[in-house]
Every structure is written in C-alpha cells, then in structure tokens.
Amino acid sequence: MIVQDDRFDTDSVTICPFTTDSTDAPLFRLEVQPTPSNGLQATSRLMVDKLTTVSRLKVGTRVGVLDDLDLTRLNRAVLVFLGIASAS
C-alpha cells in the first residue's frame, strides 16, 4: 500500500506492506478483508510497524484501492505509530 502523497513525485515511494500472517498486533497489523475493489485474494494485514521507502522501480502495477474505512484506519494507525497522534 503506497502511503506517500502523489505530490512527492520522487524516485522513491513510502509503502506499508501487507502480510497474510495472522500475528496478533491489533494496533499495528490492521486486518483487511478481500473485496473486488482492493484486489486482495485473502484476508491480509497492513504492517504499520514496517513502513519503508523503496525505489519506484520496485513497485508493480496497482492491484486495487482500499475503501474509505480501511484507509481511515490506516491513516490513524500511521499517525499513532509515528507518535504524531495518541492511540486514545
């Protein structure tokens, strides 16, 4: 999942990777159910604790988009993880 704003058109991009591993870390491993719009094939988790920046060349084609609820959950979790907002 690309979490970097499109206005920052650089050679690298910041991402939040997905996993299908069911590690229980509810604040930083956000469960996302597969839908036709997000393109996931199985229940997956966004690994907020694994934010990283990679070369745009390593990013493949778009698989789908998160719905508004999942995107809001991701945005909030990133803010908490980075210490910009509190968990409460």
Residue 38: partners with Cβ closer than 8 Å, 6 or more residues away: 32, 63, 64, 65, 66, 67, 70
Here the CATH number for the domain that contains residue 39 is 2.30.30.110
Instruction: Confirm whether 70 is domain-assigned.
Output: yes
State whether residue 44 is helix, strand or coil: strand
Instruction: Confirm whether 88 is domain-assigned.
Output: no
> What total number of domains does the chain contain?
1
For each of the chain's 88 residues, which pLDDT tens digit applies? 999 988 988 899 999 999 999 877 777 899 999 999 999 999 999 999 999 999 999 999 999 999 999 999 999 999 999 999 887 7
Print the domain residue range for 65.
12-81
Instruction: Confirm whether 68 is domain-assigned.
Output: yes
Instruction: Confirm whether 28 is domain-assigned.
Output: yes
Comparing CA positions, the residue from 17, 3, 24 lying closest to residue 71 is 3
38, exposed or middle or buried, with CB in 10 Å at 0-12, 13-18, 19+?
Answer: middle
Q: What is the pLDDT of residue 41?
A: 96
